[in-house]
Amino acid sequence: MSGNADRIRRILDDHGPALRRASDATTQPAAPTEPATPPAASTTANEILRERLAALRAHAIGTGPSRGLGGAAPEAGWMPALVLPEEDGRTLEAHVGAVLRTGRKGSFLQTERRWSLAERHGHTTLAAALERPIPLRRRERRVGGGDHVHARDAVFLDLETTGLSGGTGTIAFLVGAGRFVDDAFVVRQYFLRDFPDEPALLEALVEDVGDAPLVTFNGRCFDAPLLTTRLRIHRVPFADRDHLDLLPPARRLWAGSLESHALSALERHVLGVVRPDDLPGALMPVAYFAWLREARAAGVAGAFKHNELDIVSLAALCGVVGRLLDDPTARPDAVARDHLDTARLLVDHGDLAKARTCLEAAIESGAEAPSEGLRRMLGTLHRRAGDLPAAERTWTRWIVALESARTFDAHPYEELAKLLEHRKKDLRAAREIVERALARCPATDAHRPHLVHRRARLDRRQA
């Protein structure tokens, strides 16, 4: 394993200096009076970043010979200066309050912080996550597992990695795990000081997590597969468990009101959390490589803080998502797209009654004209539930709205005609609806032949 680790470090270090274990360095190395290596080899991480940013600013945005919009060079400052925090001489242990934890296969650094449940995180408190469980979508439920995840039983997991490409070459150098313990939310972080210690870190993580279900953000696509790969490589067993990924419900609950559904956007617009001095995610691998090469601790300390706040925000978001799924009518000012996709999410959960309530509340609120998709889904849910009066009422209102707006959609006419013909056995009323539809249906509409066929069949049945 040590030979592979040395090879990985040589590949990562594309600037030539000899590498050593950052865990062997206890203080910031003093700058030599004379350069012992060529300038390219002694370049610091920040200087490397500045050189690359300067090169990016000097070239076009994107590919091809053009230089930005209209052929002009990009303005100075178009890209933020991504530089690591300056060093102050403290060790990483002093920066983050970490302790050394040693196992059978190596050692790693560990931190532990407690957050009060009454403490506010933006607009909410962490205690709100304990008020109600969050259901799993039917496609997320495993055989023999549950149909929901409760925050009090779960572990909130987030990884900081050496890249976003996945695969066996990507390593989680910092793993954060939060869980509710008594009257606090405890965040424990595991830091990989060097590659050979990865088995020790993973074994300790698995032991601490136990058989608890997981709560992540985009974890089904990234965190869980990456963690599973690393565990299999080191032959560390990890039992299958329920897994709640909060990204899919966030995309549905705020489908129309938010352009981005990244955790940072949800923090700002949903939780009301702002991070003034946060280390950008793009700098996480840079900070770790600077730690490996030069024992630079300030950047990695920023990664610790970023990871901790991600986990705390995950717990706070869990409370908000649980409240909206329990009472989808709790935000009457939401846009119609939010209500529509929330209802779709509730259908995925198998809760058709709440989906109907959500759509009805959106129509009755009058805050925004109901979309065709919203009306279509509401009528379908009423029909599937066997509530024919409600279905008839929905399609009738839709037809009135279409005729008032002088637009046309064949769906409500066809559905209402089928209900009148097959369920209420009122052939005359069904033919009148079809006739109204044909009077307004354009000759080029693909539904016109179906309406003509339905009218002819109703005429034969009446005769």
- Single out the residue in 292, 326, 360 at which a domain terminates: 326
Question: What average pLDDT does the segment 123-150 reach?
Answer: 93
Q: Which residues have C-beta within 8 Å of that of residue 201, sequence separation ≥ 6?
A: 106, 108, 175, 190, 191, 192
For residue 427, how far is the Cα from the chain centroid? Answer: 51
> Is residue 30 very low, low, confident or very high in pLDDT (cuts 50, 70, 90)?
very low
> Is residue 48 very low, low, confident or very high in pLDDT (cuts 50, 70, 90)?
low
Asked if residue 396 and residue 289 are part of one domain, the reply reads: no
> Average pLDDT of the chain?
84
Asked if residue 296 and residue 201 are part of one domain, the reply reads: yes
Q: How far apart are CA 217 and CA 265, in angstroms?
A: 13
Asked, for residue 132, whether it belongs to a domain, the answer is yes
Asked if residue 301 and residue 188 are part of one domain, the reply reads: yes
Asked, for residue 35, whether it belongs to a domain, the answer is no
Asked, for residue 80, whether it belongs to a domain, the answer is no
- Single out the residue in 311, 326, 341 at which a domain terminates: 326
Tally of domains in the chain: 2
Q: How far apart are CA 113 and CA 305, in angstroms?
A: 11
Asked if residue 405 and residue 319 are part of one domain, the reply reads: no
Domain membership of residue 159 as a residue range:
108-326
Asked, for residue 438, whether it belongs to a domain, the answer is yes
Q: What is the per-residue pLDDT across 260-303, written as a single tens digit (0 to 9) for each?
A: 999 999 999 999 999 988 998 888 999 999 999 999 999 999 99
> Is residue 132 very low, low, confident or very high in pLDDT (cuts 50, 70, 90)?
very high
Nearest to 436 by CA among 463, 457, 458, 417: 417
**Residue 427's pLDDT is what?**
94
> Is residue 163 very low, low, confident or very high in pLDDT (cuts 50, 70, 90)?
confident
Give the CATH number, domain containing residue 186.
3.30.420.10
State the distance between the two ends of the chain, measured CA to CA, in whole angstroms: 86
107 and 123 in contact (C-beta within 8 Å)? Answer: no
Asked if residue 405 and residue 294 are part of one domain, the reply reads: no
Asked, for residue 306, whether it belongs to a domain, the answer is yes
**Residue 169's pLDDT is what?**
81
Question: What average pLDDT does the segment 217-243 reach?
Answer: 94
Question: What average pLDDT does the segment 26-37 reach?
Answer: 45
428-432 — which CB contacts under 8 Å span 24+ positions? 428/462, 430/458, 431/455, 431/458, 431/459, 431/462
Asked if residue 230 and residue 160 are part of one domain, the reply reads: yes
Asked if residue 280 and residue 143 are part of one domain, the reply reads: yes
Asked if residue 128 and residue 217 are part of one domain, the reply reads: yes
Asked, for residue 364, whether it belongs to a domain, the answer is no
Q: What is the value of pTM for the model shown? A: 0.78
**Residue 77's pLDDT is what?**
40
Asked, for residue 354, whether it belongs to a domain, the answer is no
Asked, for residue 376, whether it belongs to a domain, the answer is no
Q: Which residues have C-beta within 8 Å of that of residue 192, sequence separation ≥ 6?
A: 108, 171, 172, 173, 174, 198, 201
- Single out the residue in 274, 303, 326 at which a domain terminates: 326
Does the pLDDT value for residue 78 go beyond 70? no
